[in-house]
Structure 1
Amino acid sequence: MQQNHLSRWYFGGVSSSVAACLTHPLDLIKVHLQTQQEVKVRIIGMVVNVVRRKGYLALYSGLSASLFRQMTYSLSRFAIYETVRDEMNRKNKGFMPFYQKVLMGAFGGFAGGFIGTPADLVNVRMQNDVKLPVELRRNYVHVLDGLFRVWKEEGIRKLFSGASMASSRGALVSVGQLSCYEQSKQLVLAAGYLTDNILTHFLASVFVGGCATILCQPLDVVKTRLMNSKLEYGVRCVSLSAKLGPKAFYKGLVPAAIRLIPHTVFTFIFLEQLRQHFGLRVFVSP
């Protein structure tokens, strides 16, 4: 009998949270660049501005919201995808075809994006707060304070502002990450040059991190602007962004890639280690 290790339902949320701790400053800079009306400051200049205004710890503004988001958004999409995938692989006694992985990744990402919208909204606001004038800052103490104040001051509907964009982005990210990672890993292993080790996980995750960044960047820009806005302007956000030119939808692409690719790499490396050392043991016939 051959022994396989399967993920537990919460492994995706845990590994994504660890990755978020390592890449949070890059996520913060990406948000700052995306909320500029005009491209006035580049990556290095934005980092210098943040540090100069509030100090080095300001680069971790909104970390509690980022972790809460990972334990809602990422936990949900990984749990849905991997639970259904493992069940279908067991029934079919083999791997799912790629189109089914894409559909399941899109479904899991869409659901996870909606579930994680409130935490995502507070995360965006806490990260952007540091660059606002003192009188305009929201000054959320932590993620729970932010959630409560949005509910109390702006209504429960505001907690789900940008939910359609967040869900759509979640679907694209999950297709680019979950579905493509598994397919890439299977192709690499099938070639016979590498084994199921950290190098294989690294190569597969770097590739899918780039795919996910390009797929989701336009929606990520619109989502960030919707969540950061104090006004309800819904689909007008797309038209207003379009008036700034096609490049507006890829504002912050470089920091997004610099953030999402390492985040993807760390997430899958930690996930694979959790699976190998603490996963569910399943015995199958060779």
Structure 2
Amino acid sequence: MASSAEKVAASATPASPIAINGASKAPSSAKKPYPFWLGGVAATIAASITHPLDLTKVRLQASGDKRMVDSIRKTVRTAGVRGLFDGISGTWMRQMSYSMCRFWAYDESKKILGAGKDAPAWKLAAAGSMAGGIAGFVGNPGEIVMVRLQGDFAKPPEQRFNYKHCFDALFRMVKEEGVSSLARGVGPNVFRAVLMNASQLASYDFFKAELLKTKYFEDNIACHFTASFAAGTVATTVCSPADVLKSRIMNASGPGSNSTLAVIRQSMAKEGPMFMFKGWVPAWSRLQPTTILIFLTLEQLKNLVDLSRNSGFTLL
């Protein structure tokens, strides 16, 4: 009888979800990667919530507005509360191109570099830089559309683009300025994307891993919040110079005004070197909650995927 019981136990063990070293189907299910679009969805949700702050940051960087609160008041006074969501379609286009690509590329880059759970910071930063380079190039058209839609209302009426929505902006850019207009500011944008992903994604993974090594944190919302808060502050500081340049170049409309060196010279002459950190407070105020919302949402979406797979729902 003992022999029969052992055989029954042996045959039942692989079917158990706990015995990951049993049948080949169990580990393959557990190791199945998450949907590549998950990061894009998380970023879109987060960016929709924080859009008014992002709008204010862009207008501070690209216009003559001096203070965040004054800029918000000006927007509400001239366009109403609805004006705080100007260009929201451009934000969605940008997130579902740039952000979706960067999260996918980051995961793939970590696999290539062998950056596992406890990988050193330099490997995570290298994977983030690779992902940023790819996503910055792929998402450049969406980035231009977002910046122009957000910054349009801050301009004098005669200088506005007056795009109806993100697709109208994309089609008119190609029609009126040529296909090459989609690459405007691609250099600073890619550079900024490299900095953003090397600082934001990599630092989140690094801080999360370090927090989990302590006795005070578990893999839960408290850990995710703390790691994302630290990552948001690091990313804001690292990315500020490239972010300012990107916004000013993409908003330029005159001949030769989109030159990176020309923008730097003009800005340095008028405002001094600290122009590179203009809008840091609204940038931090926008990026901090955005970073927190992105990673909290992403972690919960992953939990939802895990739950659905454990329930036998295989579409995710």
Q: TM-score, normalised by structure 1?
A: 0.91
Contact 1:209 1:260 in 2 (8 A): yes
Change (3 A) 1:33 1:98: same
When residues 6 and 185 of structure 1 are mapped into structure 2, their CA distance, relative to the original with a 3 A threshold, is farther
CA shift, 1:127, in A, is: 0.9
**1:192-221 Cα deviation digits (max 9, x unpaired):** 211100010000000000000000001100
Query: Which residue of structure 1 lines up, in the alignment, with residue 73 of structure 2?
Result: 48
Q: Displacement of 1:129 after TM fit?
A: 1.3
Q: Show the counterpart of 1:23.
A: 50
Is 1:138 matched up with 2:166?
Answer: no
Q: Distance in 1 between the 2:280 and 2:163 partners?
A: 27
In structure 2, the CA distance between the partners of 1:93 and 1:238, relative to structure 1 (3 Å rule), is: closer
1:96 Cα deviation after fit: 3.1
Which of 63, 85, 97 aligns to 2:110? It is: 85
Note if 1:113 corresponds to 2:140.
Answer: no
- Structure 2 counterparts to residues 230-249 of structure 1, below 5 A: 230-231=253-254, 232-233=256-257, 234-235=259-260, 236-243=262-269, 244-249=271-276
Could you tell me whether the CA contact under 8 Å between 2:97 and 2:138 is conserved in 1? yes
* Aligned mate of 1:198, from 221, 234, 244: 221
Which 5+ residue runs of structure 1 have no aligned equivalent? none
Instruction: Check whether the contact 1:34–1:225 (CA below 8 A) recurs between aligned residues.
Output: yes
- CA RMSD in angstroms comes to 2.0
Residue number among 89, 99, 109 corresponding to 2:122 in the alignment? 99
Q: Tell me, what secondary structure is at the counterpart of 1:180? A: helix
Supply the distance in 1 between the matched residues of 2:213 and 2:145 (Cα, whole angstroms). 43
The aligned length equals: 278
1:75 aligns with 2:97: no
Segment of structure 1 superposing worse, 270-279 or 178-187: 270-279
Letter of the structure 2 residue corresponding to residue 85 of structure 1? K
What is the CA deviation profile of residues 239-259 of structure 1, one whole-angstrom value per residue up to 9, with x for unaligned ones?
Answer: 222222122111111000000
Normalized against structure 2, the TM-score is what?
Answer: 0.83
Give the structure with higher Rg (CA). Answer: 2
The answer for the alignment partner of 2:6 in structure 1 is none
Gaps of at least 5 residues in structure 2 are 1-18, 21-29, 311-316
Percent identity over paired residues: 37
> Which residue identity does 1:241 align to in structure 2?
S
Aligned in 2, Cα 1:197/1:5: closer, same or farther, shift over 3 Å?
farther
CA contact (8 A) 2:132 2:196 kept: yes
Where relative contact order (Cα < 8 A, 6+ residues apart) is larger, the structure is 1
Shift of 1:265: 0.2
Distance 1:281 1:80 in 2: 23
Which has the higher mean CA deviation after the structures are superposed, 132-141 or 179-188? Answer: 132-141
* Cα-to-partner distance string for 1:54-112 (whole Å, 9 max, x where unaligned): 111111111111111011111111001113425765xx876433222111100101111
Asked whether the 8 Å contact 2:109–2:131 carries over to 1, the reply is no
Cα pair 1:73 1:113 within 8 Å, conserved: yes
Confirm or deny that 1:250 pairs with 2:277: yes
2:244–2:277 contact (8 Å) kept in structure 1 = yes
Q: Which residue of 1 aligns with 2:86?
A: 61
> Which of 212, 229, 234 is matched with 1:189 structurally?
212
